[in-house]
Structure 1
Amino acid sequence: MSQFLEDVLKGLSAKEKYLQSKYFYDANGDKLFQSIMGSKEYYPTKCEMEIFTQKTSELVTVLTGQNKEFDIVELGAGDATKSVHLLKGLLDNKVTFTYFPVDISANVIDLLQNELPKKLPTLKLQGLNGEYFKMLEKAKTLSDKIKVVLFLGSNIGNVPLEKAGDFVTLLRQHLKPGDLVLIGFDLKKDPKTILDAYNDSCGFTRDFNLNLLRRINNELQGNFNLDNFYHYPTYDPATGATKSYIVSKVEQQVSVAENLFDFSEGESIFMEISQKYTVQQTDELAKQTGFEPIHHFYDTKKWFLDAIWRCV
């Protein structure tokens, strides 16, 4: 049994059904996510892009001020449209490094290995396709230089607040003193602004969520009728938790690899969380997990934070 199938069966068998968001990213999912990032309502990518384009030299100065030689390991690299500005800035400053983009999508890694050398001909690049921590360990076997780990796009927000400490602690266990982490956080702001970002008017987020059901149909012998489900996002301004669900419109039965699952009308499948933070929460998270926050970078609206942490 594939890990994908095992995880889907486990999630759909749970008392409160869920699917793991890491499976959003097949080729069609990748395209839909690009569309989400380009939508007028989705601000996190634009805010972080502002940081990487407008504050490139400051980023380079802080990183090279800590270590003269290092490697860049980007967890969940995607299309590297933000990090490419940092990579170019480092190359322009004659910093010697290898870039190790890590992504669970083989499609993404193939794209990076084909396209990045065209933009940055002198870049030393080795793509790593797989789970974050396994690939971080692999990068360490390929080079013993200090590591600068990029964890951008508020990917930390996909971990529930109560488990974020466990995740960051595990990240710290895979690093050594002196290693750095450049980590992106979406900050708390007007609740309507946040909720609109996960319910764009063009329906890209809706299609992105429903695409996982289509992927199950295509790859796992599923028979989800996508017309029988709708996308439902929520935001709790008190906790900072944005959650996405797919809700069954009718009472129905769905088959996945010959396993049957009953849905009542209005029953939901939990798809993803996107946690929003205060700056104080991010500093506390660092200090509680073996890091020292050494610099904060913001966009002009202060909607987004890229923090640099040092392993202690």
Structure 2
Amino acid sequence: MIETFKNDVEKGLNTTPKILPSKYFYDKKGDALFVEIMNLPEYYLTRCELDIFQNKTQQLIDKLQLRPNSYFELIELGAGDGLKTKELLRLLDSQNFKFDYLPIDISINSLKLLEQDLKKELPNVSVQTQQGDYFEVLASLKMSSAPKIVLFLGSNIGNMTDEQAAQFIYNLGANLQAGDQLLLGVDLIKPKELVLAAYDDSKGITAQFNLNLLERINEELGGNFDLNYFKHQPEYNEEEGIAKSFIVSTIQQKVTIKAVGKTFEFAAAEKIHTEVSRKYNDGLIEKIIANTDFKITDKIMDSKNYFADYILKRS
């Protein structure tokens, strides 16, 4: 894992413009900061999807055509703290559905916390945590012929370009069987003032979350980033529906990373691109899945129509 981190950092900082993958936001500190972000008043995404899972839970079950006596596997990609999914698990449990819940996450810390919480809150639910890369884990689960419901929530797909998202969903289909379903949570295109506030909160928690990536490089790879000379900067193009996050060097400076064995130069105001957050509409989703095995069978929206959970079925 550390070798992959080192290679990705070296490659990203040698690229023009510089990039660092957003997946490295998530370590123990990053996980805790993201939980804080999800509870911020400006961060509407979690509340909107939680609104769906709290108030339209039965509708989710009905639209997914789940039956109490038919066993299935409920697989979640990037489960995190399971805040939203617990609402679904609670109703499935109370209605005596037969299923196993398989949360997949790159963070072993998140999985351990989730497993502990579920043992306390929903002791009857079968939880089988899976740590690692989504597709490696899915490939290992492919041997099971049980029907699968895959949850990919929180508009995490929005962290990919449209081309990457299309490939991602195609790869999902390759690891599933005909009739398996994907519940895809996406943020919908909306005005600039709403979106930018979600990525630049007044408490500065999102800034800490982004800059934690540099702290990780310092701690794990022997970097000497001085966080006083870097800042978080979000941008949003409303016409495209694309939000981007950057870490910006506030001065001309040099940074050495011992594990990489290199020194990197930064110009004043030079950006490191860390994250894309794509916003969607029906047309964009149709375009992304056009060359995959999936078709849209339904769509459930929150009460403000800010967010949508699309149900896609593999043919």
Q: TM-score range by the shorter chain?
A: over 0.9
Q: In 1, are the aligned partners of 2:157 and 2:186 still within 8 Å (CA)?
A: yes
Write out per-residue CA displacement over residues 180-232 of structure 1, whole angstroms, 9 at most, x where no aligned residue.
Answer: 00010100011110111101111011100000100110111011000010111
User: Is 1:272 paired with 2:272?
Assistant: no
Structure 2 residue 130 is the aligned partner of structure 1 residue 124 = no
**In the TM superposition, what whole-angstrom CA distance separates every residue of 1:70-94 from its partner, at most 9, and x where no partner exists?**
1011000000010111111112222
Deviations 1:83-124 (A, max 9, x none): 111111112222111111000001011111222111111111
- Please, what TM-score do these two structures have when normalized by structure 2? 0.96
Deviations 1:54-76 (A, max 9, x none): 00111112223489321011000
Cα offset, 1:137, TM superposition = 1.8
Please, what is the CA RMSD of the aligned residues?
1.4
SS in 2 for 1:78: coil
1:46-85 maps to which residues of 2 (within 5 A)?
Answer: 46-65=47-66, 68-85=70-87
Tell me the TM-score normalised to structure 1 length: 0.96
Contact 2:187–2:308 (8 Å) recurs in 1: yes
Which position in structure 2 is the counterpart of 1:226? 227
1: CA distance, partners of 2:154 / 2:201: 18
Query: What are the superposed Cα offsets for residues 12-63 of structure 1, whole Å, 9 maximum, x if unpaired?
Result: 1112111011110001001110111111111010000000000011111222
Tell whether the 8 Å contact from 1:287 to 1:293 is kept in structure 2 after alignment. no
Deviation string, structure 1 residues 111-148 (Cα, Å, up to 9, x no partner): 1122211111111111011111111122334x431110
Match of 2:298 in 1: 295
1:286 aligned residue: 289
The number of residue pairs the alignment matches comes to: 311
Q: Does 1:167 align with 2:168?
A: yes
SS at match of 2:154: coil
Runs of 5+ unmatched residues, structure 2: none
Q: CA deviation at 1:176?
A: 1.1
Please state whether the residue corresponding to 2:65 is helix, strand or coil: helix
Matched with 2:157 is 156
Give the distance between the partners of 2:179 and 2:109, measured in 1 at CA: 33
| Amino acid aligned to 1:288 | N
Q: Give the gaps of 5 or more residues in structure 1.
A: none
2:311 matched to 1:308? yes
User: Do residues 145 (structure 1) and 146 (structure 2) align?
Assistant: yes
